[in-house]
Chain A
Amino acid sequence: MGLKRLSRLHVRSMEEVVSLDDDRIFDYPWVYAVEVGHWELDDSQAARLREYLLRGGFLMVDDFHGSQDWQIFAEGIAKVFPDRPIVDIPDADAINHAVFDIEDRFQIPGIQFLYTGRESEYDGYDPHWRGVYDDKGRMMVAICHNSDLGDAWEHADEPQYPEKWTSRAYRMTLNYIVYAMTH
C-alpha cells in the first residue's frame, strides 16, 4: 500500500502470500521474506527457490538480527546455493543507483526502537547490505541484515517513528524493485 501511495509504480495495494511449495511463486517477479533468521527450508523448497531465482526471480530478505539469525539464514541460503557466496553489496553496485543514489547506508531499526530506545536487536549492531549474484552478475537475493525496512514502510505514518528511516527504506526498496525489473 505504501508503494502505491508513495511511488508511481502501478502496483497492487496488497501483496500475495506465496509458498515455496506452490508453483504460483513463478508468477511473481519480486518476493519479500521477513524474519528469515527463523526459516527452515527443506531440500525441495531450497531447490524450488533456486529455480525461481535462476529463472529471473528476485528475493529481498529483511528483519533478522544478530549472529544467531544470520547463522540460520545462511544455512538456508547455503541449501539454495551451496556454490554461491554471500557478498557485501559494493556502493557502486547498480542496485544502489537504480532510481536513487544511495551510498551512505545506515541501519534502519524496526518499531521496537520506540519502546526500547535501541537501534539494534540482539548483537546486530552493524547493518549489513549483502547479496547473492548469478553468473551474469545479476543480484538474485538482496539481504538486509540487522535492519527492518518492513517496519519502516509499515510505520510511515507513525509520528514517533523517525522519517529518515522510513524515507530511506522506501528509497532503497524502490531501488531494489526497479533493479529487479530491469536486470
Chain B
Amino acid sequence: MKLPRRAIFILVLFVIVGVTAFAFQRRFRYMNPEEDAPIPENPTERTEFVFARLQYPQINIGGSLGAPGKLVPPTIPKRTASS
C-alpha cells in the first residue's frame, strides 16, 4: 500500500516534533530542598540543650506490595542517631 504524500509529511512532522520535545525535556525536579540540606558544622557540639526528632513506623495506606510501613519521616536529615 502506498501512503499519500500528505500522510507521510504529517507522520514525519509528528516524529520530528516528538523527538525534539523529548530531547529538551528537563529532569522533573520536585521542590524538596531539605533532601540536599548540608549538615551543619559541628553537629554534635556540647550544648545546654539537645532536642530530638521522633522516628516512628509509618502506616501503610494503600499498600506498597503489602509491605509493612517502616519508614523514617521524609524530612529527616540524612544522619542517624548513632553517627
Q: Which residues of A contact B (CB under 8 A)?
A: 1, 3, 9-20, 22, 24-25, 27-36, 38-42, 45, 59, 63, 72, 111, 114-115, 150, 154, 177, 181
Tell whether B26 is near chain A: CB-to-CB under 8 Å. Answer: no
Interface of A is mostly: mixed
Q: Is the CB of B53 within 8 A of A15?
A: yes
- The 24 listed contacts between A and B (C-beta, < 8 Å) are A10-B49, A11-B48, A11-B50, A12-B45, A12-B47, A12-B49, A13-B42, A13-B43, A14-B39, A17-B52, A17-B79, A18-B81, A20-B56, A22-B81, A25-B54, A28-B51, A31-B54, A32-B52, A32-B53, A33-B56, A38-B58, A42-B57, A45-B56, A181-B49
Q: Cα distance A144–B43 when bound, in Å? A: 27
Other-chain residue from B40, B49, B52, B61 in contact with A25 (beta carbon distance below 8 A): B52
Q: Is the CB of A18 within 8 A of B54?
A: yes
Q: Which residues of B contact A (CB under 8 A)?
A: 31, 34, 37, 39-45, 47-61, 69, 72-77, 79-81
Other-chain residue from B37, B51, B57, B80 in contact with A39 (beta carbon distance below 8 A): B57
Q: Cα distance A10–B76 when bound, in Å? A: 22
Q: Cα distance A27–B76 when bound, in Å? A: 19
Nearest CB to that of A22 among chain B residues?
B81
Nearest CB to that of B77 among chain A residues?
A14
A15 with B56, Cβ < 8 A, contacts A38-B61, A111-B31 known: no
Q: Cα distance A118–B39 when bound, in Å? A: 30
Most buried by A among B50, B51, B56, B74: B51
Q: Sort A-B residue pairs by CB-CB distance and give the 10 closest, nearest first.
A: A28-B52, A10-B48, A33-B54, A14-B43, A40-B59, A13-B40, A12-B47, A11-B49, A19-B55, A18-B52
A14 with B52, Cβ < 8 A, contacts A38-B61, A72-B59, A154-B34 known: no
Other-chain residue from B45, B50, B74 in contact with A28 (beta carbon distance below 8 A): B50
Nearest CB to that of A20 among chain B residues?
B56
CB neighbours of B50 from chain A (8 A): 11-12, 15-16, 27-28
Q: Is the CB of B75 within 8 A of A34?
A: yes
Q: Is the CB of A39 within 8 A of B47?
A: no
Q: Is the CB of B57 within 8 A of A40?
A: yes
